[in-house]
């Protein structure tokens, strides 16, 4: 990471991940890491298809899902799939939304 991003950025990312990991729920869950769709591919429903597949797997296995986002517009997107904000924390001065979704039978 240091080679790719530089020392300062690597330290910031490490700090950010450390704060997130301290907020990780203790109950069993499937943790969705950061995802994104490149700008030139946006509008092609790729993100929606990824989330559909993830949520279908949660429902199939009976697992709860968990994710974090620092983008308020993503909260609306994730709510469409049944995720709800359970907490908000500051990471490097930026509000981050912690979101949870129970499996649907």
Question: pLDDT tens digits for 78-91?
Answer: 999 999 999 999 98
| DSSP line for 74-91 | HHHHHHTTT-EEEEEEEE
Domain that holds residue 48: 2-101
CATH code at position 96 = 3.40.630.30
Structure tokens at 34: 């950061």
pLDDT tens column, 26-59: 899 999 988 888 999 989 999 999 999 999 999 9
Structural domain count, the chain: 1
Three-class secondary structure of residue 103 per DSSP: coil
């Amino acid at each position: 990471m240091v080679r790719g991003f530089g020392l300062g950025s690597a330290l910031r990312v490490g700090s950010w991940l450390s704060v997130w990991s301290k907020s990780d729920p203790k109950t069993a869950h499937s943790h969705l890491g950061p995802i994104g769709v490149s700008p030139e591919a946006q509008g092609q429903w790729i993100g929606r298809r990824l989330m559909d597949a993830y949520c279908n797997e949660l429902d199939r296995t009976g697992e709860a899902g968990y994710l974090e986002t620092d983008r308020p517009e993503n909260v609306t997107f994730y709510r469409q799939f049944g995720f709800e904000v359970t907490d908000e924390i500051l990471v490097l001065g930026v509000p981050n939304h912690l979101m949870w979704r129970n499996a649907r039978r």
